[in-house]
Amino acid sequence: TRLDVFKKCVQLSKVASKGLINIDVATRWNSTFVMLDNVEKFERAFEQYALHDPNYKTELGKTGPEPKPDALDQRGPPTQSDWVYVREFKQFLQHFYDLTNKVSGTKYVTANTFLEEIADVNFLLGEWSDHVICGDDEIFKCMGLKMKAKYEKYWGDPEKMNKYIFIAAILDPSCLVLILYARTKESHFFKDMIEDTYGCIIGNRILTSSHNEFVSLFGEYKELYGTSSTSELASQARASENAYENSLMRSRYNKKRMRSCGEGTTSSNMRTELDKYLAEDTEELTAEFDLLEWWKLNAARFPVLSKMDRDILAIPISTVASESAFSTSGRILDDFRRSLTPATLQALICTQDWLRSKPINA
């Protein structure tokens, strides 16, 4: 009967929602956000319900534990201040809800944006710890401080983080930055993001180590997939000699270039492709920007980096589905499941993906 009355109140309040309110689930923390996000739409319906049901305020006032001395009485129907809390908590939790869904995606690249997501969480928790968003409310400040301490436990020391997180960000042209070469047209977004998150001293140390790791990894890929500049120029010189239409001056120039390249250092040759990429203008990050398409179109210009990009960006940030990440109830494996062979277990886990997968056109 009460549900029918509430539905009539929803119609009178002209709530733009086809469903009803959701119930919170203790083992699924995202259900709190879903509940608050949904219930906010029914604020006027609850006010109407208080007018149609005289027992609404009375019975809710009797439920719940007795408040402690000098504590806020949380019994009774939601008040105006409660709805303010609902909106503020919903806005705060939505960042984590969207982040978890984003890093758990399987249809797009996730490695290149994870560092930015970590910085966003750090900024958000910093605001709540300093109670900038919510004024001087101790409830939000206390919660922000607790979450900030948990964040520092896992992401507070960047030197313990996987360096591929930083390398993947450098391989994103929309976040492109030349860390140590100040002479080029560089975007300061990557550098400022690191320094704002970890401070100038630690940030500069991380930028230097990330650059060294990036150059070292590029050197390994250069040995695997690259061709020496000397051999390239030699083939060009032979082609120039055999081509009838080439002039004598061009043939002499190719030979001279081959000799000068042979006398140069290996490091300068190895850094040529790096210099070209890091000197690129930062791509504007829009909804139409496709990272994989950009590398596909520029693979001829950066043959070694494109191979490196293919391997780095293919690494998923999280191998756990968002539904499992949101759940704290855990999974129970009985003796029968634990005794399965690896081949059978892989088939049980991957069968749906194998059936749903589409062939990739090279």
Taking only the tens place, the pLDDT of each residue in 1-15 is 888 888 888 888 888
pLDDT of residue 340: 75
In 187-285, alpha helices (H): 189-198, 200-225, 229-242, 248-263, 266-278
pLDDT (0 to 100) of residue 359? 57
- Say how many CA atoms lie within 13 Å of 337 toward its Cβ: 8
What's residue 329's pLDDT? 58
What's the pLDDT score for residue 290?
85
How many Cβ atoms from other residues are within 10 Å of residue 101's Cβ? Answer: 14
Q: What pLDDT is recorded for position 96?
A: 86
Contact 314, 93 (CB under 8 A): no
pLDDT above 70 coverage of the chain, percent: 70
pLDDT of residue 120: 87
Specify the 3-state DSSP secondary structure of 265: coil
Please answer whether residues 167 and 213 qualify as being in contact, where contact means their C-beta atoms are separated by less than 8 angstroms. yes
According to the model, what pLDDT value does residue 260 have?
A: 59
pLDDT < 50 positions in the chain: 133-135, 177-187, 229-230, 233, 237, 240, 243-245, 263-270, 362
Residue 243 to residue 246: CA distance in whole angstroms: 6
Q: What are the residues facing 327 on neighbouring strands?
A: 28
